[in-house]
Chain A
Amino acid sequence: MNETLHVVQKLSDWRARALEFEQEIQKAVIGQARVVRLVTICIFARGHVLIEGDVGVGKTTLLRAVSRALGGDFARVEGTVDMMPSDILYHTYLGEDGRPRVDPSELLRHAETLPVFFFNEINRARPQVHSLLLRLMAERSVSAFNRVHHFPYLNVFADRNMVEREETFELPAAARDRFLMEILMAAPDDEDARRRLVFDPAFHDTETLLERVSAGTLDYRETPAIARAIQTHVRSSDALERYVLNLWQALVEPSSAGVSLPDVDLDSLVKGGASPRGLAALVRAARVRAWLEGRDYLVPEDVRDVFIEVMAHRIFVDPIHALRGDDIVKRLCRAAFDATPVP
């Protein structure tokens, strides 16, 4: 009993700090409250993130602010078409004596203290690199220099270049399924935020901007324990579990659940995805949201709030629809919500 009270108290303290963490991030990244909330959910759900967004909307700034607020290191690689897995793990150079040297890369050097690893333009990298990343994400470990390196606090953030198709390698389904969320980051809608971003010199210099964020608002070393506590503490009622299963059914067999979209044959639309891992990820993210909202039980709004970010990138549709982007998947998700009664 005492232990439960202790956990409740601890979760409550951590919630206050998580909200403070969000505030800190928003000092550097303005007009992106929802993106910041989703990133916070990913950190406490221990999930990796795909970030989709135009160039220059502040993805790197956001991630550097996150790593600073978490008090850990930050590593970043740029995906290129000629990149090999070893480029991520090893740093090769000529030493002062003229001999080739191989040192651990930035990623390996910071392994134990790295909460944020940013992989920019991940789809420019080859499938070999993707497979290394798969292991890194799934097991939080890689093999290098004949030993296994662990990354206990790692969250991978990857950006996909959705503009060009030349010399890009689409992420395999398995790799996409490993990402907890795909977060869309667009320029803020708010006019005031837009004006400040363009005219306020504070937003022109990332280094000084990041100094606004107090370092170590959260301790990244504690996040795994908190994440576990959240998952065991936040309850899901029968009605909610039924609701999530109905939603799943609506995605897998839309027509049987009464879901319909104009001009689309739903029987042949969904080709894959919506895996049990996907649904588990959905509930994990929803639980974190419920905790952030100050509840110890799940409600349908929690599920719906994170649904598109968690599920849309895992659902694979018929290629004829895939050419039109992921809009159809988002429409399908919304239609599933509109057709699934609750409670």
Chain B
Amino acid sequence: MRIACVALMLAAALPAFAQETTVRIRSARPFGYFVGDLIHARIDVSAPADAVLSRASLPNPGPLTGSLDLRDVKLSDSSESGARLWRLDLTYQNFYVALDARDIEIPGFELSISTATGAQTVAVPAWRIGVSPLREIAPQKQEQASDYLRPDGSSAFVDEATPLNLAFGAGAAALLALALVARDRAWPPFQQRKARVFSALARQISTRRAADDANLAVAIQSVHRALDQANGAILLSGDLPEFLRRRPEFKPLRADFERFFETSKRLFFGGESSKDDSAAEQLAQFVGRLARQERAG
């Protein structure tokens, strides 16, 4: 609300409350209103701290005079240095069709306040504003009635292609990212994705490094089971070429596969114990490589 302090200030000095109760009326300007204009007024009423304002005494929105309506009433309540301050924001609308510049009166009203000493009436006095007539502009004589009209403003041309392309691009990128995430997490429709048996195995093997033969045997057996699962049937070393043909992503690991099968054969069937401490390390590396190829494939 643009109320400056160009206000007309009225102090109502009431006999009994000369020091305590004051009324200030402020408006944006006291002149220059035309028919239909809104007139904003702020009325500050300060009273003793124990005073209570009777809300029923506030003016009601509606027609006040033949040419003036009260449109809106807002009340805010605060305390200021031991005194009570009510701030009334009133919105009037002027319907007076003035033929010349003159003052019109905004009618006053009364507010009821009750204090410790009893009920009192605070009068908000009438105040005046200046209204002005709407003057006709005498334009140059035109031949056509439509010539008096100003042309429509030209509409600004907005190029839609770039934002549209950007939107499609971003949408496609978002969908692609969603698809990648879905594939990684095996969400539908990727639930049929081959299970990553070697990734699971690599985690399992890395947590329990095989130290002795028994553990190494268990680890090798678990690798065999994972290979069986990847193959869909029991995988023996003789099936390796066929397996690598079906799962070409493992082709680069052919030498590792052969070494693994050789170690397994010697340990399980040849009755040799692995004197070599690096066997467990090699196994873990082999599984790690399998997991990597599986992820790549």
Contacts and interface: CB of A to CB of B under 8 A. Distances in A.
B270 interface: yes
> Which 10 pairs show the lowest CB-CB distances between chains A and B?
A338-B233, A343-B268, A239-B268, A237-B269, A299-B269, A297-B270, A301-B238, A297-B269, A299-B265, A240-B269
Interface string A329-340: 000000001111
Given A341-B224, A342-B224, A237 B234 contact: no
B257 to A, nearest CB: 14
Nearest to B220: A343
14 contacts: A236-B269, A239-B268, A240-B268, A295-B270, A297-B271, A298-B269, A299-B269, A300-B269, A340-B234, A341-B225, A341-B228, A342-B236, A343-B220, A343-B224
A235 interface: yes
A237 B236 CA distance: 17
Interface in A281-323: 295, 297-301, 304-305
B251 to A, nearest CB: 21
B65 interface: no
Contacts of B234: 337-342
Given A297-B270, A301-B236, A340-B234, 5 more contacts: A341-B228, A341-B234, A343-B224, A343-B264, A343-B269
Chain B contact patch, size range: 10 to 19
> Which residue of B221, B224, B264, B265 has the most chain A CB atoms within 10 A of its CB atom?
B265
Contacts of B236: 300-301, 304, 342
A259 to B, nearest CB: 11
A297 B270 CA distance: 6
Interface string B248-275: 0000000000000000110011110000
B223 to A, nearest CB: 11
Nearest to A334: B233
B237 interface: yes
> Which residue of A338, A339, A340 has the most chain B CB atoms within 10 A of its CB atom?
A338
Nearest to B237: A301
Contacts of A235: 271
B217 to A, nearest CB: 8
Interface of B: 220-221, 224-225, 228, 233-234, 236-238, 264-265, 268-271
Contacts of A300: 236, 269
Interface of A: 235-237, 239-240, 295, 297-301, 304-305, 337-343
A299 B264 CA distance: 10
Nearest to A302: B269
Nearest to A340: B234
A235 B269 CA distance: 8
B237 A237 contact: no
A339 B233 CA distance: 7
B101 to A, nearest CB: 105
> Which residue of B224, B225, B268 has the most chain A CB atoms within 10 A of its CB atom?
B268
A237 B224 contact: no
Contact of A343 (B221, B238, B271): B221
A237 B233 CA distance: 23
Contacts of A240: 268-269
Nearest to A239: B268
Contacts of A295: 270
Contacts of B221: 343
Contacts of B269: 236-237, 239-240, 297-300, 343
B271 A304 contact: no
A300 B233 CA distance: 14
Contacts of B228: 341
Nearest to A336: B234
Contacts of A298: 269
Contacts of B225: 341
A237 B238 contact: no
A239 B270 CA distance: 10
A342 to B, nearest CB: 6
A78 to B, nearest CB: 39
A235 B271 CA distance: 9
A164 to B, nearest CB: 37
Contacts of A343: 220-221, 224, 264, 268-269
A109 to B, nearest CB: 44
B282 to A, nearest CB: 18
B237 to A, nearest CB: 6
A305 B268 contact: no
Contacts of B270: 237, 295, 297
A342 B233 CA distance: 11
Nearest to B217: A343
Nearest to B225: A341
B218 to A, nearest CB: 11
